[in-house]
Structure 1
């Protein structure tokens, strides 16, 4: 086993770190650079994106032939962690959710015509996108195959969609969508995936759902479908392949969340380290207190475990494996590590951490969603338990 990175990967890491430090991070201190929903203002973002493109740090998940960096999943892990050392980083490099996952899946399964029409504008940064899966109860949540209520029915040359989705990330700014809907009652082949434009008749955004925030560009919206017509050529893969499309998209997407969250966890720890190194109380630096050292040691320990879990899962994906249990392990651990890191940093910073004088309160509110998005902790623990039941002691085998 070799735990080193290549010279090319190390150069990528350092270039990304330098760009984040010099170009992106300084913008966090000026509230004028934020939009009304506490993300980077879109006009500020566009100027930074131009710089990222010029620096060759653009669309890391996209094929080189289409204008991306053509990186492997292990390379993503290295770059994304550095990118999200700033709260604005992933959006600047065009590797923020949901576009990141949509670019990846369309690169893998889109037809040449679909890639030209739907994928290329995403890679170029001309548009934003969303994926519409989650529904209000009793509709689709963590079990889309069994719970999906939105239906697509074939009528002549088109599919007609009726139903409702909610908590659709980025929908308010998206120009096009991946939509997953029920096309039959088959337990394994009952779902299909489609592409549609935001300005098509037969669908509307009913509301932008208020959340703890901060929000991604476009928020988290509820969408109503009332006779949306989608032509056959906008079907992704084949009829009944909707679950397969979601599996191809969501596995790597869950892991890219973890990559980015590690960056935020490291940033939180760095803010705590800087403050405790300089804050003196009762004649002693906070950093010299054993209680503080224990807290910081636990964070360093948990972040390192997270890095190993993420890189192992990334390596397996690069080998062509689905890495289901590895991704679930990483998702549970890193989501909780992010929350622990920022909570600890706020505690060590005291009232300063709770205020908007640092980005810790921003990260704290953002971090709470990590244990819910792309499968709640409990769902991933169930996956791990079921995998163990099926494999027994071989659950922990390295593979040869």
Structure 2
């Protein structure tokens, strides 16, 4: 029995039915993309079904779900590779909507959030840069914005700017100098600042395209150049100098929603494997009765359930304690990105030759989820941060009087002697 509130469970069921009855039959062949006309028709159908933009504010056309309830809905959307795009809860738009809702001014919400939620516009997030610029280490940010009368002048170079080819605007992370409090525009500390930049602004240029193994995010991952780009003061998202703080408000939920969507796809892969093992025979037995197949299926269930649990815990924590939730989202991202790959890989193995062919979509699923171990911060970077936090928390606990276990071990050793 579902433990979700009745209205959330109703939305989950309607989303599940819509994905299976309307979206899956419209899926393109593996490796191909959905045409814009087909996408527009599916999005219109999603709006009619009342399942469009589940995470976005109701006043802007979304379903207004609280963050702690996103996972079951996003998993249903992610059961199809094109489901999140159809429902307008795909990256990077979903993360940008969340941040605009949190820190955007009313004018910014009208100009950028409303068309983004409705599907009339798309967006990108300009963070990653060519080496030695920002990547897994955001402190290496090199794109800069200089304060001028009435606004800012941006210069810099981004890469892997997901969605940029189709975007109407970019939320650009830039390095800004300290501003004198006595200046007419007021003061702000040196640091990072987020600026809303319309993609048709003079000096904004899409550069080299980057072809990647994943295809689910429309709009590509191209280089993006800012060459003496002027934006007005009204383009500042939040407060100058606080961009890294805002980035955490965006990236914590954004990396978690990636987990939700990919977990839905892993469930689809598991269902494909179960249908195969329930209907195929090998060595005189049903495939699902063979021990090696049972082991793989059991490991899949374990990976699915542990991922679901950490996602749910993190989403709940993000609502009550954003800092702690953001830290836990690193655990969720590193675990889930590896778990969903394992689930899909085992499912492909269970399907044998069909698994590696285009008779089934599993090979294309592997390409999609493999990149997630690098996107949103490499898993190695997240594990480094997780270990540092664990060590620091333990040192603080010992300083506050917790038993020092090395001494306990020494006591046991002395007693045995």
Q: Shorter chain as normaliser: what TM range?
A: over 0.9
Q: Does 1:45 align with 2:39?
A: yes
- Provide the secondary structure at the position in 2 that maps to 1:172: helix
Q: Does 1:201 align with 2:202?
A: yes
Aligned to 1:71: 65
1:153 is displaced (CA, Å) by 0.7
CA distance in 1, matches of 2:33, 2:257: 19
- Provide the secondary structure at the position in 1 that maps to 2:322: coil
Aligned to 2:171: 178
Which runs of 5 or more residues in structure 1 are unaligned?
Answer: 396-400
Aligned to 2:240: 239
* Equivalent pair of 2:249/2:322 in contact (CA under 8 Å): no
Could you list the structure 1 runs, at least 4 aligned residues long, displaced by more than 6 angstroms after superposition: none
CA offsets per residue over residues 286-342 of structure 1, 9 Å max, x none?
211100100110010111000110000111122243312321111111100111111
Aligned to 2:149: 156
| Correspondence for 1:107 among 94, 98, 101 | 101
1:185 is displaced (CA, Å) by 7.6
CA distance in 2, matches of 1:334, 1:394: 29
CA distance in 1, matches of 2:215, 2:110: 33
Aligned to 1:361: 363
* Equivalent pair of 2:252/2:329 in contact (CA under 8 Å): yes
Aligned to 1:347: 349
CA offsets per residue over residues 104-151 of structure 1, 9 Å max, x none?
10011100011111111101110110000000100001221x201111
- Quick one: structure 1 residues 189 and 379, their matched pair in 2 at CA, closer, same or farther if it must change by over 3 Å? farther
- Provide the secondary structure at the position in 1 that maps to 2:223: strand
| Correspondence for 2:75 among 64, 67, 81 | 81
Aligned to 2:226: 225
CA offsets per residue over residues 255-283 of structure 1, 9 Å max, x none?
11111111011111111111111122222
* Equivalent pair of 2:143/2:156 in contact (CA under 8 Å): yes
Superposition TM-score, scaled by structure 2 size: 0.89
CA distance in 2, matches of 1:107, 1:221: 26
Which runs of 5 or more residues in structure 2 are unaligned?
Answer: 180-188, 398-417
Please give the residue correspondences for 1:126-141 in structure 2 after superposition, counting only pairs within 5 Å: 126-141=120-135
CA distance in 2, matches of 1:312, 1:59: 22
Aligned to 1:61: 55
CA distance in 1, matches of 2:34, 2:213: 17
1:208 is displaced (CA, Å) by 1.6
- Provide the secondary structure at the position in 1 that maps to 2:166: coil
1:390 is displaced (CA, Å) by 2.1
* Equivalent pair of 2:310/2:332 in contact (CA under 8 Å): yes
- Provide the secondary structure at the position in 2 that maps to 1:167: coil
Superposition TM-score, scaled by structure 1 size: 0.93
* Equivalent pair of 2:170/2:197 in contact (CA under 8 Å): yes
